[in-house]
Amino acid sequence: QVQLVESGGGLVQAGGSLRLSCAASGRTFSTYAVGWFRQGPGKEREFVAAIVGINRSGGSTSYADSVKGRFTISRDNAKNTVYLQMNSLKPEDMAVYYCAAVQYGSGSDTSTDYDYWGQGTQVTISS
């Protein structure tokens, strides 16, 4: 029902910023909760941030403790896009970042709660 495409990854110095985008298909995108997950080298996939759809409390977001205060998730439903603004990047932020979506979702931090996944975008940190 929905296709997701991540973009915006690349090489950035520690302390720098990147903005990732998750572009979605479908005219019901505004009702989907979207989460960002990441998988670093030799590590398991971990939750980064999530934002709920319009069926939930407006502007409801959640973040992993490791990124709280540095990353911001937002969405532009008119553009069918969710963003992850990443500031003050650290070497441990280096990973493939994935967006995921589930209609009427709660903004869960659990990957199995999401139905649709993008293919990921690589974020590389230099020091």
Averaged pLDDT, 13-36: 96
- Yes or no: say if 71 and 49 are a contact pair by the CB < 8 Å rule: yes
In the predicted model, what is the mean pLDDT of the chain?
95
Return d(Cα 46, Cα 69) in angstroms, integer.
17
- Yes or no: say if 125 and 89 are a contact pair by the CB < 8 Å rule: yes
Q: What percent of the chain has pLDDT over 90?
A: 93
- Yes or no: say if 46 and 100 are a contact pair by the CB < 8 Å rule: no
pLDDT digits (tens, 9 = 90+) for 54-110: 988 656 999 999 999 999 999 999 999 999 999 999 999 999 999 999 999 999 999
Of 70, 87, 85, give the one whose Cα is nearest residue 15: 87
What is the reported pLDDT for 30?
93
pLDDT band at 26 (very low <50, low <70, confident <90, very high): confident
In the numeric block, the tokens 């199995």 are attached to 112
Residues whose CB falls within 8 Å of the CB of residue 118, separated by 6 or more in sequence, listed in order? 4, 5, 6, 22, 98, 99, 100
Return d(Cα 48, Cα 9) in angstroms, integer.
15
